[in-house]
Amino acid sequence: MCAVAGIVDWNRPAEWLLSASLKMSKSLAHRGPDSEGSWHEPNVALSHRRLALIDLEGGHQPITDPADRFVLVFNGEIYNYRELRNELKSEYPFQTESDTEVLLAAWTRWGKDCLSRLNGMFAFFIWDRESRTGFAARDTLGIKPLAYCFKNGTFAFASEAKALLTIPDTSPKADLEAILEYLVAPCFSGVSTSPFQDIEYLQPGQCLEISRDGLQLETLTNLFDQPDHWISGKGLPDSNELQTILPKAVARALTSDVPVGTYLSGGFDSTLITAQAKRWGHSDLKAFSIAFDGHEKFDTDHSGIVISDDCPFAREAAREIGVDLDFVPVADRSINDLLQEVTKTNDALPAWEQELAQHSLARAAARQYKAVLVGDAADETHYGYQFLLSDEACRSPSHLFENRFAAPIRRSVMSHPIAHFDEKYRTLVADSAHNWDTAENRRGATTYLIVKRWLPRLLHNGDIHAMAHGLEARVPFGDTELLAFAQTVPPHLGFHEGREKSFLRNAARRLLPESIRTRTKSALPKPPLGWQAFQRELQSDLETTLDLAGAVLDPDTLRSLINRAAPVTEAEQSLLFRLAAMKHWFKHFEVSWS
């Protein structure tokens, strides 16, 4: 719903802090076009940009509590704010109807323990004027972002990493480890750290405290980390509980004082969300779907992720549900311009060609809405990926990216990149109770890794492309009640009878068209001839591209790929996309290697 930014320093003048905070806020104006606010005193300055969705007249930020002790800046939505308000109103003199003030009241009552009571998506920072400490937190799934840097005694945070580049005397440098991860395992990149050196991301379910003594991090929630939570049984359990939770999750995500639309690809997840939104009385609901030039001719036989054309299914879903559907066209001739725009938007470096679709959808939807419901997080939390049925794919983390995202890393830069990142992700999984001993355990371990790395990357992309147009992407599958249930389902039930998302599909009987309920997952579409557009972009300034990428990749292999006349593989097209995105990223943000 907003953008937050702030800076804490015990040595800088207050005027310098305010100026730096306002510069960050200005760079985030696209996230909050409705109003802006700032607050400062010695050692700290906070700024806010607002996209007004709840309590349009109230809810301005930064906001202070009645005792004038705590100051809050908040990005997101607390869907259960009315229930919390009723619980707190006897002891807190509310002045607005906003979820922002409810969050502040909850903090004054429970401190960081309030986090376990919140159902929503959020990233916020609270300054304690009495103890001279700051506290930041991010929701358990990582729907709302928070980037930060702590260097030379200065702590700064913002809703997007690129805002931190506006701090005076900042010279953007590339983080080698992050860039290599982007090239080798893009699906996991841009999560643990940004590709900008010294800029980190607060992790999902994590909080931090900043004081004169320094920075302290703490993980409060760690989703899908305990196989002990799994229910037992061989057959598919009764789905009544899930059938009750699902509609409630969608209803909560519809909480708004302005109209809310939906994305509708024609896939299971978005159709289920749209059908439930219509069920809750949104008779004028409108949905949006993408249509690339030549989408009906896409070579699905040679794609590992796009296995069918979405458009016919989207039309059928819209007709059956009874919603208006707007197809958003993307012409081949616009791909290169769109690629530049996407790269300027996604400061974590665009990871997938599907981001071209996300950006285009958001731009179209934002002309009519301030918020849309999306089907994100269903696949990652409900066993929605068919490849998890393969024992080979789950044998190690590297099997998720080795053949899909091959990149010719120079041995002088990293001798064994696949093994390096495989070990990195194994270490991450080792922090959970999962192991790689049996097929069931390996699926659980792989799902945990997907929730910890793959999903936050997807959610980052969804947020940053939507908010680039002043549009909030709401994620019903991130509802805390629904997540709590999802964690109880073991892999063999999630893949009952060899069908991905079996438990969720079973619960959706009679809730959406049968042809879509049983439809095999197909990824968000991408431009059929995108590889040609990416080649043209790289050929237009080939030597610059080779100098830039040649610092870490084999230049001869790159030259051959960029100039190849014959069609390329899906993995090679993905690499061409990332190379073109890298070229624009280095240029636009004026990044150097050292």
pLDDT mean over 126-135: 98
Tokens of 242: 């899930």
Residue ending a domain, choose from 156, 189, 219: 219
pLDDT mean over 418-433: 95
536 and 469 housed in the same domain: no
* Pairwise pLDDT comparison (104 vs 57), residue with the higher score: 104
Per-residue b/e over 450-474, b at no fewer than 16 CB within 10 Å?
A: bbbbbbbbbbbbbbbbbbbbbbbbb
470 and 337 housed in the same domain: yes
* Pairwise pLDDT comparison (291 vs 293), residue with the higher score: 291
383 and 491 housed in the same domain: yes
Task: Measure the CA–CA gap between 480 and 544, rounded to whole angstroms.
Answer: 47
* Bridge partners of residue 38, in order along the sequence: 47
Task: Measure the CA–CA gap between 568 and 573, rounded to whole angstroms.
Answer: 6
User: Is the per-residue pLDDT at 64 higher than 60?
Assistant: yes
> Which pLDDT value is given to residue 510?
82
- 3-class DSSP assignment, residue 168: coil
203 and 254 housed in the same domain: no
556 and 505 housed in the same domain: no
> Which pLDDT value is given to residue 525?
66
pLDDT mean over 403-421: 91
Q: Residues for the chain: how many in total? A: 594
Q: Does 93 fall in a domain?
A: yes
Task: Measure the CA–CA gap between 294 and 357, rounded to whole angstroms.
Answer: 14
Query: Residue 333 — very low, low, confident or very high, per pLDDT cuts 50/70/90?
Result: confident
Q: Residue 451: phi, psi to the nearest 5?
A: -65, -35
133 and 261 housed in the same domain: no
* Tens of pLDDT, residues 532-552: 889 999 999 888 888 999 999
User: Is the per-residue pLDDT at 386 higher than 60?
Assistant: yes
> Which pLDDT value is given to residue 86?
98
Task: Measure the CA–CA gap between 300 and 310, rounded to whole angstroms.
Answer: 11
Whether the model pTM is above 0.85 = yes
Q: Cα Rg for the chain, rounded, in angstroms? A: 23
> Which pLDDT value is given to residue 529?
72
Residue bearing tokens 């959406």: 512
534 and 510 housed in the same domain: no
Residue bearing tokens 């001839």: 529
Task: Measure the CA–CA gap between 380 and 371, rounded to whole angstroms.
Answer: 23
Question: For residue 589, which amino acid is it?
Answer: F
**Enclosing domain of residue 578:** 530-588
User: Is the per-residue pLDDT at 295 higher than 70?
Assistant: no
> Which pLDDT value is given to residue 228?
87
What is the number of alpha carbons within 13 Å of residue 474 lying toward its C-beta?
30
Residue ending a domain, choose from 219, 247, 262: 219
Task: Measure the CA–CA gap between 549 and 555, rounded to whole angstroms.
Answer: 8
| Total count of domains within the chain | 3
Q: Residue 281: phi, psi to the nearest 5?
A: 95, 10
Residue 273's alpha-carbon distances to 212, 251, 361, 479, in angstroms, are 46, 10, 17, 12
- Calculate the average pLDDT of the chain: 92
User: Is the per-residue pLDDT at 275 higher than 80?
Assistant: yes
Query: Residue 588 — very low, low, confident or very high, per pLDDT cuts 50/70/90?
Result: very high
pLDDT mean over 49-64: 95
Closest CA to 159 of 276, 73, 253: 73
Task: Measure the CA–CA gap between 111 and 124, rounded to whole angstroms.
Answer: 13
> Which pLDDT value is given to residue 234?
60
What is the number of alpha carbons within 13 Å of residue 529 lying toward its C-beta?
16
Tokens of 182: 């982007």
28 and 146 housed in the same domain: yes
Q: Does 448 fall in a domain?
A: no
115 and 178 housed in the same domain: yes
275 and 326 housed in the same domain: yes
Question: Which residues are CB-contacts of 113 (< 8 A; sequence separation ≥ 6)?
Answer: none
Query: Residue 307 — very low, low, confident or very high, per pLDDT cuts 50/70/90?
Result: low
Question: For residue 63, which amino acid is it?
Answer: I
Closest CA to 48 of 211, 209, 214, 159: 159
Beta strands (DSSP E) in 186-301 are 200-201, 206-211, 214-219, 261-263, 286-292
* Bridge partners of residue 373, in order along the sequence: 262, 474
Tokens of 67: 């005792």
pLDDT mean over 313-333: 91
Question: Which residues are CB-contacts of 398 (< 8 A; sequence separation ≥ 6)?
Answer: 418, 419, 421, 422, 425
Q: Does 417 fall in a domain?
A: no
pLDDT mean over 421-428: 96
Given a contact cutoff of 8 angstroms between Cβ atoms, the answer to whether 433 and 227 are in contact is: yes
Residues of the chain above pLDDT 90, percent: 77
Whichever domain contains 319, its CATH number is: 3.40.50.620
Q: What is the SS3 assignment for 188-204?
A: HCCCCECCECCCEECCC
Q: Does 98 fall in a domain?
A: yes
CA torsion sign for 363, 358, 342, 36 is positive
Task: Measure the CA–CA gap between 47 and 63, rounded to whole angstroms.
Answer: 11
486 and 573 housed in the same domain: no
* Tens of pLDDT, residues 88-112: 999 999 999 999 999 999 999 999 9
* Tens of pLDDT, residues 540-587: 988 888 899 999 999 999 999 999 988 888 889 999 999 999 999 999
Residue ending a domain, choose from 517, 542, 565: 517
- 3-class DSSP assignment, residue 332: helix
Task: Measure the CA–CA gap between 419 and 282, rounded to whole angstroms.
Answer: 50
Question: For residue 300, which amino acid is it?
Answer: T
pLDDT mean over 71-76: 98
- 3-class DSSP assignment, residue 87: helix
Task: Measure the CA–CA gap between 560 and 591, rounded to whole angstroms.
Answer: 26
Residues of the chain above pLDDT 70, percent: 95
Please tell me the least confidently modeled range out of 57-61, 455-459, 475-479, 507-511.
507-511
Task: Measure the CA–CA gap between 360 and 26, rounded to whole angstroms.
Answer: 24
What is the number of alpha carbons within 13 Å of residue 101 lying toward its C-beta?
19
Q: Does 543 fall in a domain?
A: yes
User: Is the per-residue pLDDT at 15 higher than 90?
Assistant: yes
258 and 180 housed in the same domain: no
Q: Residue 126: phi, psi to the nearest 5?
A: -125, 130
Q: Residue 72: phi, psi to the nearest 5?
A: -120, 135
Beta strands (DSSP E) in 65-181 are 70-78, 120-128, 133-138, 147-151, 154-158
Q: Does 425 fall in a domain?
A: no
Q: Does 480 fall in a domain?
A: yes
Q: What is the SS3 assignment for 480-510?
A: HHHHHHHCCCCHHHHCHHHCCCHHHHHHCCC
Q: Is the peptide bond before 62 cis (omega within 30 degrees of 0)?
A: yes
* Tens of pLDDT, residues 145-188: 999 999 999 999 999 999 999 999 899 999 999 999 999 999 99
> Which pLDDT value is given to residue 110?
97
* Tens of pLDDT, residues 470-491: 999 999 999 999 999 999 999 9
Q: Does 432 fall in a domain?
A: no
Task: Measure the CA–CA gap between 490 and 216, rounded to whole angstroms.
Answer: 34
